[in-house]
Amino acid sequence: MSQNKPHRMRTARWLMVSILVAMAAWAAGGQGLDAAERTVIRLANGEWPPYTGLHLPGHGCDSQVVTEAFGLENIRVEYEFLPWARGLMLSQNGAVDGAVEWAGTAEQRRTHFVSSEPLSNQQWVFFHRKDTKVSWQRLDDLVGRTIGLTIGYAYSDLFVSLRQRHPEMFKEAASDLLNFRKLLAGRIDLFPVERAVGLHVIGRDLHARDREVLVFSPQALAEFRPYLLLSRALPANEERMRLFDRGLRRLKDNGRYDAIMSPCRADGS
């Protein structure tokens, strides 16, 4: 009998350790995921500064929100910066776990779990020169103005009808910076772009004297609310999204969310 006692003690200690480990995993909130699944998540990202960007602090406001919300749930985020369309395709196929900064459309919801709340609230506005007076209630009020667009942007249905009836109003350029330079030169009258994105380009790429010439209309042209997508091709992502939603709520409740977003609200809004 005495020979079996050490064996029973070792068994008891092993059971106790197992119970403690299981309780710790439960308390961490990741009951549905194993350790490997909980540790790291790989997300496709892209360039949309100041909200997202490879070389921005924290990879941009929205990226940092994602990083810290997952971090509160003990999940580390790794980003792969890719062209937007390629990143979404890889996420749909499960080659990466998900993608940041998407609209959460009905089509995207068929292939992805979508966060319950947006990462940010973004406003598209018209930028123009200070000496250009802009007043409008409907887009038709702008007939006679020249509007610059950036090639490759998805402007949704904003200008479809107006472009069909007045194609001469619209001039395309290869980048936001080129459109701002066309504004400065008087070659276009208006340039629609997300407010913080426009301010970021102006502050980063234009001379101080040129920055003073440009303003944006306070009237919002459109709003964009980007979401986190996690691929439905990976079953563990349903639980990961639950954890992310909980982490995001915690960020908002403790005030950290507003602090993260402050660089994207540089105009004081």
Query: What's the whole-number mean pLDDT along residues 215-230?
Result: 94
Q: Residue 153's pLDDT is what?
A: 83
Residues 237, 175 within the same domain: no
Which pLDDT does position 79 carry in this prediction?
98
Residues 101 and 67 in one domain: yes
107 and 132 in a single domain? The answer is no
DSSP 85: H
**Same domain assignment for residues 149 and 172:** yes
Dist. CA 218–CA 265, nearest whole Å: 14
Whole domain around residue 66: which residue ranges?
Answer: 13-121+225-265
When divided into structural domains, the chain yields a total of 2
Task: Kindly state whether residue 103 falls inside one of the protein's structural domains.
Answer: yes
Residue 71 has pLDDT above 90, yes or no: yes
Q: Are residues 107 and 231 in the same domain?
A: yes
Same domain, 231 and 219: no
Residue 6 lies in a domain: no
What mean pLDDT comes out for the span 54-70? 98
- In this prediction, residue 8 has a pLDDT band, given cuts at 50, 70 and 90, of very low
- pLDDT for 164-175, tens place per residue? 999 999 999 999
Does 69 fall in a domain? yes
Average pLDDT of the residues of the chain: 88
pLDDT at position 167: 94
Residue 89 resides in a domain: yes
Overall pTM > 0.75: yes
**Joined tokens for residue 226:** 């980007």
Let me know: does 80 contact 44? Beta carbons within 8 Å.
yes
Backbone angles phi, psi at 77, to 5 degrees: -100, 135
> 3 in a domain, yes or no?
no
Q: Which of 121, 124, 122 has its CA nearest to residue 176?
A: 124
Give the CATH number for residue 151.
3.40.190.10
Give the C-alpha separation, 252 to 256, whole Å. 6
HEC readout, 183-205: HHHCCCCEEEEEHHHHHHHHHHH
Write the pLDDT tens digit of every residue in 113-156: 999 999 999 999 999 999 999 989 999 999 999 999 999 887 77
What confidence score (pLDDT) does residue 36 get? 54
The secondary structure of residue 52, as a DSSP letter, is B
The pLDDT, as a whole number, for residue 266 is: 59
